[in-house]
Amino acid sequence: MIFVTDTHALVHHLMGRHQRLGRRARAAFERTDRGIDSILIPFTAMEEVMLLSEVGRIRLLTPFRELLVSLMHSENFELGTNDPDLLFEASALSGIRDPYDRLIVAQARIAPAPLITGDEKIQASKLVQTIWD
């Protein structure tokens, strides 16, 4: 199965803070690490990881550039791209105020794949299937 990840879920996984993930979210990352499932990482989520690490809000276990190369070569993690289709989808989601969340939800809708997120606003929106607990 393929999933799309929100930024906070990805950060918890990358930092080894698995206890902060919901049960089903943790299982999705574990299955992906074992090669059973795949996770699509939206370009926007990686951009957020880069910016958060640059300003010191998060401490990655691996320098960002090394992490990016590792993910680019991973068989079970796929990096999304920003393209016109993503923007068309995002333009229809004006109810989501955060621009990063808007693009991440659009990525999940285009995939189409469940979004790994604990964001209650995204979950409540019902714009995309979500998994967490």
Using DSSP's 3-state secondary structure scheme, residue 87 falls into helix
Q: What is the pTM of this model?
A: 0.95
Domain range list for the chain: 2-131
Fold designation for 2-131: Rossmann fold (3.40.50)
Question: pLDDT for 77-128, tens place per residue?
Answer: 999 999 999 999 999 999 999 999 999 999 999 999 999 999 999 999 999 9
Query: In this structure, are strands 130-131 and 38-41 parallel, antiparallel, or unpaired?
Result: unpaired
Element (H, E) at 79: strand 77-79
- Residue 13 tokens read as 């996984």
